[in-house]
Chains A and B, each alone.
Chain A
Amino acid sequence: MKLPFGWRAKAPRRGQEGSRIQGHDRGVMAFSHTAEVIRAEAALKAAGLAVRVMGPPPDMRTGCDMVVEFELVREPLARRVLAEAKLSPLAVAPVRAGMLEPVSLYQIKDFGQWLMVRAANMKLTVDKDTRVIVNISGGGCPDVPALAELLVGQTLDAAPSPLATGQTLCAYALELAFREAQRQLPTHPQPTHPQPEHPRPEQS
């Protein structure tokens, strides 16, 4: 099942066509930590800039890292937005070869009462009737156990976005699974098991 996510899933809004990322005028911003990349992406998107998170080229990789790709021509605006968010990129450079795309494939497994969504190495399982997150599996970065504690037991509406507290690429993968679960299980689900409308009192 191939599903686009994030910016690619949305048609450009009227008036925003000019800010779409295309051609060769792209740049990347590197930050000191994955958590800053996550915050920068959110701030830049909130400001209406067309950005996306990518894997850095091989000579820039340190382990669990990513960069923000943006339109170079909008660098001054991007820097202002980041400064307001108290963020400062370590480096800004034109896009080079070797950039990596985030995963965009999901696997869905139906367990009857529960639905499991896998994005890359992260799996999130939700009760289809209640939309409560019942388990989080997979991943290997140290924030995964903390995110699991935070999200399990919450509904898809009440649970915080994994990116709100997550700091690693595993958190980002979990965010994708979370969003896909929300898409798969919209707010008003039909019960998967027939529910009696008027339970009868037990016969003695």
Chain B
Amino acid sequence: MTPPWLIVGTVPDESVGLLQGPCALDRAGLVVDSARLPVWRGTPALLAAACAACAVLGLEPPQALLAGDAGRGSGSRLAYDHLRGALPSLAPRGLTFHYLFPDLAGHDQVLLAALVLPVRPLLVADAGFMYVAKMSGQAAEYDLFTPDAGELAFLADETAPHPFYTRGFLLEAGVGSAELIRRAWDTGGAAKHMLVKGGSDQVVRQGRILTEIAGPQTPAMEAIGGTGDTLTGMITALLMSGRAIPEACAVAALANRLLGQLACPTPATPVAGLVAHVGEALRLALARETEFLRGVMMPPGIRPEER
């Protein structure tokens, strides 16, 4: 039996408590541990995209650990505590961390529990957990971060514990992403790989840009809350399929751009209007995968990741 992939995040409803189990997506929405959840932005959008992508890839959907947390951090603390105890028996092959309250002590306990597993899981961090992973000084223990432009500046600022404190000179329009990527890696703020989201998505390994995915362009996607969540959901599913990290990032980035093309959104479109197109977008991206990767990946090309 293949070890599970666990997605850890929150929903902004503290009455939810703690949910753990396989997730499923149907016409009426998302189901986790028998609880039905609306697919708005945040971790439910990530889970919905991951489920839709797994269906296309012929995979069982991922497991989810969801805490009810509306910002006080107590739900996230429950998730951290539960995860620390559950990781040894769960032995996941991968963990995707998402909207969680940035709690340094909770992070350190979870990371330590993951690192001492007999088989080290792949570690993907996005949103609040990416913030605390960077703040902990242990970003390089992670396999993948998925920052946008503002978050990249934060990762490149060795003094900032949260994007709110990013120093201005790193946010100036003239500072290029390549410089920020290099600075983030050199100062210990970057994971081994990053997918930097922007006008052109950049796949990065150890501070070096491997490739960029620049089209198709749908500028309105930048304004829509949750497009990063659908992207991380598709990356997770592609990693579950066994693809290497750069390959998974490149294909997911293309699929997310095709998602924009299929949905024809405006800046006022909610992410729920996009999620319905995830399956088709990924199918289109996979149909072009070999040719696409040959075109975008520079030598030495895509190889199974040595971690």
Contact = CB atoms under 8 A, between A and B. Distances in A.
Interface stretch (B160-168, B186-194, B255-263, B284-292): B160-168
Interface hub of B12, B130, B228 (most chain A Cβ within 10 A): B12
B202 interface: no
Nearest to A61: B161
B224 A135 contact: yes
B148 A63 contact: no
B184 to A, nearest CB: 14
A168 B227 contact: no
A57 to B, nearest CB: 10
Interface string B203-240: 00000000000000001101111111000000000000
Interface of A: 2, 33, 35, 55, 61-66, 100-105, 107, 109, 111, 113-114, 116, 118, 120-123, 125, 127, 134-146, 148-149, 152, 166-173
Contacts of A144: 41-42, 99
A106 B128 CA distance: 21
A62 B104 contact: yes
Chain A contact residues: helix, strand, loop or mixed: mixed
Contact of B12 (A33, A145, A170): A145
Contact of A120 (B99, B164, B219, B220): B164
A64 B73 contact: yes
B103 interface: yes
B267 A166 contact: no
Contacts of A149: 12, 40
A63 B161 contact: yes
A63 B103 CA distance: 5
Interface residues of B, number: 60
23 contacts: A35-B71, A61-B135, A63-B132, A63-B135, A63-B161, A100-B161, A103-B166, A105-B171, A114-B267, A123-B222, A136-B225, A137-B224, A139-B127, A141-B102, A142-B70, A142-B73, A143-B12, A144-B99, A145-B11, A167-B70, A168-B101, A173-B163, A173-B164
Interface string B231-255: 0000000000000000000000000
B102 A145 contact: no
B41 A148 contact: yes
Interface string B1-45: 000000000111000000000000000000000000000111000
Given A2-B168, A135-B268, 18 more contacts: A63-B104, A63-B132, A63-B135, A64-B103, A111-B219, A111-B266, A120-B150, A125-B267, A134-B267, A135-B223, A135-B225, A139-B127, A140-B127, A141-B101, A142-B69, A143-B12, A144-B42, A170-B163
B142 interface: no
Contacts, number: 182
A171 B135 CA distance: 19
A167 B72 contact: yes
A64 B267 contact: no
Interface in B121-169: 126-132, 135, 148, 150-151, 154, 159-168
B62 interface: no
A104 B40 CA distance: 30
A142 B151 contact: no
A199 to B, nearest CB: 23
Given A111-B223, A142-B10, A142-B75, A125 B268 contact: yes
Interface of B: 10-12, 40-42, 69-73, 75-76, 99-105, 107, 126-132, 135, 148, 150-151, 154, 159-168, 171-173, 219-220, 222-228, 266-270
A144 B173 CA distance: 25
Interface hub of B72, B172, B269 (most chain A Cβ within 10 A): B72
Contacts of B76: 142
Contacts of A102: 164-165
Contact of B101 (A100, A116, A142): A142
Contacts of A166: 71
Contacts of A122: 150
Contact of B223 (A104, A120, A123): A123
A181 to B, nearest CB: 12
B114 to A, nearest CB: 18
Interface hub of B11, B99, B219 (most chain A Cβ within 10 A): B99
Contact of B151 (A55, A121, A136): A121
